């Protein structure tokens, strides 16, 4: 006999930014895998709810939301036979802030982390979220195993080599509820962060590839009128000496926030102080509100070879962007073969916007930004604000047709279908 779900009327809850109010009639917090399977199999429409850090309605549904914070499980490390790394099995509801200390305690590391550690592993990898670095793939490229509950309640396991695996990693919540995820880990390493100011656009464009390749991870911050800061995160085993000048920019002499006037206490350490990978690769500390706390976000990915032209196109809109902008960040991400990854098929430049919390004005501006970037094949971040529709997205993703077929096989009745997927994937059109 299936277990009865622990369900309650949905809280009048919103996403992290407060711009999406979830419409679900019920919020479930299952305490066992069997209970989760019962909820999914018994629902007409259901979506998984993670850290609520998406800025759009990707997790919205009128029926049932499922939070996995009560589902039992722990991080389990499976060393590789050669002893050089292995697989970390992570519960579906776990956040990076809960996973990385466990890895660090065992002398292990992930290859990359996002700007903030507050997000869930399952949600970040399902949307192609990324860290940065010319040779670093997105967070999704660390995935080497998935366990998810399909629409009929069956637990399905996928691994590299399975024909569906490359399509299932960046799944947008369309295939099922992830209960466990396997991440490739490696030996731990140390990183130092140095911040530079007064880099010019001219010097950046003259040496763009060299700037991006100068360290393990490089972030360029801008308001589109000028370059405001460059954060250079170098592995100490790769870069023994970090210069006082960086392509003509000078080193900051005190901790510096990318958002002027914001307290620096919520940032990870700078000024070249070496630290463990998980204490330097994110921009923000775990115990503090990330970024400004009151914001919206948008991000687009363009092929790296079009980076300069894309930036020039955005600079022409600086007079419209700047009044709504808190800061923009430019980062590179290495290519991968995951069907719906923004880096599918080639290295990309990520163009990130942190906006003031003025959604109506931001949404009114997005079509102009997307039009400016359209000649360069810009793909939007799946978890942030954008207006690009299903037809254009299908043209940007060569395997979109294959993904639609995968969705129909895993979810023929549209249990995980919602308005977001209808706008972007149109699997049931």
Q: Name the nearest CA neighbour of 183 among 80, 285, 256.
A: 80
User: Residue 4's pLDDT band (boundaries 50, 70, 90)?
Assistant: very low
DSSP 8-state class, residue 40: H
If you average pLDDT over residues 25-31, what whole number do you get? 93
Above 50 in pLDDT, residue 16? yes
Q: What is the mean pLDDT of the chain?
A: 92
Above 90 in pLDDT, residue 240? no
Q: Is 255 exposed, middle or buried (0-12, 13-18, 19+ CB in 10 A)?
A: middle
If you average pLDDT over residues 253-278, what whole number do you get? 88
- Global confidence as pTM: 0.94
User: Residue 3's pLDDT band (boundaries 50, 70, 90)?
Assistant: very low
Asked if 382 and 338 count as a contact pair (C-beta separation under 8 A), the reply is no
Alpha helix segments (H runs only) across 144-193 = 165-168
CATH 3.30.465.10 residue ranges for the chain: 76-188
Number of residues assigned to the chain = 429
User: Residue 13's pLDDT band (boundaries 50, 70, 90)?
Assistant: confident
Percent of the chain with pLDDT over 90: 81
If you average pLDDT over residues 310-330, what whole number do you get? 97
The continuous run of DSSP H or E covering 144 comes out as strand 143-149
CATH of domain 7-67: 3.30.43.10
Which of the pair, 196 or 8, is modelled with greater confidence? 196
If you average pLDDT over residues 49-64, what whole number do you get? 93
Q: Is 244 exposed, middle or buried (0-12, 13-18, 19+ CB in 10 A)?
A: exposed
| Domain 76-188 classification at class level | alpha beta
Residue with structure tokens 């799944």? 171
Distance from C-alpha of 366 to C-alpha of 196, rounded to nearest angstrom: 30
CATH 3.30.43.10 residue ranges for the chain: 7-67
Distance from C-alpha of 381 to C-alpha of 342, rounded to nearest angstrom: 7
Non-local (6+) Cβ contacts of 213 within 8 A are 134
Above 80 in pLDDT, residue 202? yes
Judged by average pLDDT, the poorest of 269-278, 283-292, 312-321 is: 283-292
DSSP 8-state class, residue 184: E
Non-local (6+) Cβ contacts of 338 within 8 A are 128, 140, 141, 166, 167, 169, 170, 344
Strands 26-28 and 64-67: parallel
What is the CA angle 71-138-136, rounded to 5? Answer: 135
CATH of domain 190-380: 3.30.70.2520
Asked if 131 and 112 count as a contact pair (C-beta separation under 8 A), the reply is yes
Distance from C-alpha of 90 to C-alpha of 69, rounded to nearest angstrom: 13
């Amino acid at each position: 006999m299936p277990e009865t779900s622990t369900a309650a009327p949905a809280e009048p809850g919103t996403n992290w930014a407060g711009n999406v109010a979830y419409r679900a009639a019920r919020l479930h917090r299952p305490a066992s895998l069997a209970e989760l399977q019962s909820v999914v199999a018994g629902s007409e429409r259901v979506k998984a709810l993670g850290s609520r850090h998406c800025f759009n309605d990707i997790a919205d549904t009128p029926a049932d939301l499922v939070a996995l914070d009560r589902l039992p499980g722990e991080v389990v490390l499976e060393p590789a036979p050669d002893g050089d790394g292995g697989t970390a099995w992570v519960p579906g509801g776990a956040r990076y802030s809960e996973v990385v200390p466990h890895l660090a305690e065992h002398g292990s590391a992930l290859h990359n982390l996002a700007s903030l550690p507050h997000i869930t592993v399952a949600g970040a990898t399902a949307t192609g979220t990324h860290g940065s670095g010319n040779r670093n793939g997105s967070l999704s490229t660390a995935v080497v195993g998935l366990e998810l509950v399909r629409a009929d309640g069956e637990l399905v396991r996928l691994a590299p080599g399975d024909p569906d695996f490359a399509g299932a990693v960046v799944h947008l919540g369309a295939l099922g509820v992830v209960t466990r995820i396997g991440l490739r880990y490696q030996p731990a390493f140390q990183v130092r962060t140095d911040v530079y100011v007064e880099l010019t656009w001219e010097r950046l464009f003259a040496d763009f590839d060299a700037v991006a390749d100068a360290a393990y991870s490089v972030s360029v911050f801008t308001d589109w009128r000028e370059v405001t800061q460059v954060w250079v995160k170098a592995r100490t085993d790769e870069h023994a000496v970090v210069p006082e000048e960086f392509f003509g920019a000078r080193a900051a002499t005190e901790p510096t926030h990318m958002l002027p006037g914001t307290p620096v206490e919520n940032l990870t350490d700078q000024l070249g102080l070496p630290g463990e990978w998980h204490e330097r690769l994110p921009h923000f500390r775990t115990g503090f509100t990330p970024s400004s706390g009151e914001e919206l976000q948008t991000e687009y990915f363009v092929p790296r070879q079009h980076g300069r032209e894309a930036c020039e196109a955005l600079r022409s809109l600086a007079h419209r962007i700047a009044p709504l902008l808190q800061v923009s960040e430019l980062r590179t991400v290495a290519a991968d073969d995951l069907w719906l990854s923004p880096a599918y098929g080639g290295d990309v430049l990520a163009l990130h916007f942190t906006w003031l919390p003025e959604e109506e004005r931001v949404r009114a501006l997005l079509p102009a930004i997307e039009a400016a970037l359209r000649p360069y094949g810009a793909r939007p971040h799946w978890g942030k604000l954008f207006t690009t529709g299903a037809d254009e997205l299908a043209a940007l993703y060569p395997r979109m047709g294959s993904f639609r077929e995968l969705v129909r096989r895993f979810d023929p009745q549209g249990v995980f279908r919602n308005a977001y997927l209808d706008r972007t994937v149109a699997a049931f059109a």
